[in-house]
Amino acid sequence: MAVLVGTPSVTLICVSVFVAVLTYITYKLLSGYLYKWFTLKKVPGMEGTYPFVGNALSLKTSSGAFFRQIEELCQKFYGEPLFKMWIGPVPFVILCHSETVEVILNNSVHMDKAMVYNFLHPWLGTGLLTSTGEKWRQRRKMLTPTFHFSILTDFLEVMNEQTAVLLEKLDKKAGTGPYNCFSDVTLCALDIICETAMGKSINAQKDSHSKYVECVYRMSDIVTQRQRKPWFWPDTLYHLFGDGRIHDETLKVLHDFTFKVIREREEEISSMESSEDTNQEGKKRQALLDMLLKTKDEHGNKMSHKDIQEEVDTFMFEGHDTTAAAMNWALHLLGSRPEELRKVQEELQEVFGSSDRPVNTDDLKKLKYLECVIKEALRLFPSVPFFARTICEDCHIKGFKIPKGANAIIVTYALHRDPRYFPEPEEFRPERFLPENSVGRPPYAYIPFSAGLRNCIGQRFALMEEKVVLSSILRKFTIQSLQTREELQPIGELILRPEKGILIKLERRETS
């Protein structure tokens, strides 16, 4: 009898608890959403913003069109300190002025990456680029010494060797008419990062059809497509109705590649350690991977295989696509400006004369004008055209309250075109970066490598690689661009690339 009476009341209690919990969760989610919605009401924004869907329906789906849309929005709202965009229920504020960018990047509270980086997690795990909080702090501390100048100097040899392979390929193209250099320069950057990061030469330049490179591009596209489509954010919906299957197949190629290389390197190291003849390798080149395999945290713990894989995947992605794009843009710009090209080649003549010796560290210091060219190319075409952070505490940007949980997108592509600091911003003028012309420019007006504590760990590596490759090409060849700026059509997936590559004409130089 007691059981019969008790059953409905237990059921009633369970149902009531369930309804109460559901109401509480809904209330929490809804009140958080409404709080952000009303707090951001005053911030200027795109037309056609609907509750829960936001502006997602107005966002262009192809990478090229989306990038142009962001560019146009930045121009439209340039007179405002910032503007907003809702992607589904998530608000983004877009920043393209040094004063507003500084508020975020100069504050150690807003160090976490925006939620859209979560879609990189299957590929890069939570490596240095994507991790947050204590994990990021620890990793950054462990990895910073691996990018020390003295270690980078060891990589110079690899950079010179791989550049020599590129030069052989370019030599065959010299004097033969239009040539799209994008892929060859990219494969050179890939060979450089493979050998410096993993100590493994994959000869991508010689075996030009690289499935890995193809998959890096496909993955960048897949990730950015998903970032713009909130209905595909839940994994189940993505796998049922979106590109989940292609995503997983692409991921497998990317991971298999780095996994195999790490395993081979581990085996190589352990066989060297067990070998009686410890000097057999003589001065074996150190790779970033070797340092990761040896690195210990403050408690003396080594990194696990998974930890190493996510860092290697991160370096492989951040470390070749970025530099490849930057070098290609620089070649296009120099090929369109004979006067600036002449100045670079004069400097090369002074530093190297007519010798074709490899580049050394002293040369790197002397290539001052080339450095200005590299910086100016990164101003006009920053390899990472935008990046994003989560707002971790309510804050104010130029009088607008930005609620915790919103995201800030920093559009370097637009930031670098501020006419207050870069008069006639579309003009390619390397002299802007001569020390005397940089005086008074605010530090956050030019940030191709981001800024603050979460800036790019590989920036010295990148500048070194660019100097070696570009100086070697321009010592041997003279170039002419065959595209106008309008024909280039930059597409910004994760990395800013020219949609149809870089078309140039190469001629051997008489002095070489």
Q: What does the binding site for ligand HEM look like in residue numbers (CB under 6 A)?
A: 128-129, 140, 314-315, 318-319, 322-323, 326, 378, 383-384, 387, 448-450, 454, 456-458, 461-462
- Count helices and strands (H / E) in the chain: 20, 11
Residues with Cβ within 8 Å of 487's Cβ and at least 6 positions away in sequence, in order, are: 500
CB of 311 or CB of 352, closer to ligand HEM: 311
Q: Is 113 helix (H, G, I), strand (E, B) or coil?
A: strand
> Which residue, 352 or 468, has its beta carbon nearer to ligand HEM?
468
Q: How far is the CB of 48 from ligand HEM (least distance, A)?
A: 28
Q: Which is nearer to ligand HEM, 258 or 383 (CB)?
A: 383
Q: Which is nearer to ligand HEM, 195 or 340 (CB)?
A: 195
* CA 493/CA 67 separation, integer angstroms: 8
The 10 Å CB-count burial string (b at 16+, else e) for 3-22 is eeeeeeeeeeeeeeeeeeee
Q: What is the nearest approach in angstroms of ligand HEM to the Cβ of residue 494?
A: 9
Nearest CA among 121, 104, 100, 102 for reference residue 112? 104
Closest CA to 382 of 432, 437, 436, 445: 445
Q: How far is the CB of 387 from ligand HEM (least distance, A)?
A: 3
- The reply, when asked if residue 456 is annotated as ligand binding, is yes
Comparing C-alpha atoms, which of 428, 412, 420, 407 is closest to residue 488? 428
CB of 41 to ligand HEM, least distance (A): 28
123 or 461: CB nearest ligand HEM? 461
C-alpha dist (Å) from residue 490 to 241, 397, 443, 485, 502 = 29, 30, 26, 9, 11
- Percent of the chain as helix, strand, coil, to the nearest 5: 60, 10, 30
Q: Partners of 234 in the beta sheet?
A: none
Q: In terms of CB distance, is 326 or 504 closer to ligand HEM?
A: 326
Minimum CB separation of residue 106 from ligand HEM in Å reads 14
* Residue 134: CB minimum distance to ligand HEM, A: 13
Q: At closest approach, how far in Å is the CB of 275 from ligand HEM?
A: 30
**What is d(CA 148, CA 272) in angstroms, rounded to the nearest whole number?**
25
Shortest-Cβ-distance residue relative to ligand HEM: 458
Q: How far is the CB of 65 from ligand HEM (least distance, A)?
A: 22
| Ramachandran angles phi, psi of 47, nearest 5° | -75, 160
Count of Cβ atoms closer than 10 Å to residue 221 Cβ: 18
Compare residues 457 and 478 and give the one whose CB is closer to ligand HEM: 457
Q: Which is nearer to ligand HEM, 131 or 225 (CB)?
A: 131
Q: Please state, in angstroms and rounded to a whole number, the distance separating the CA atoms of residues 494 and 204.
A: 22
Residue numbering of the annotated binding site for heme: 456
Residue numbering of the annotated binding site: 456
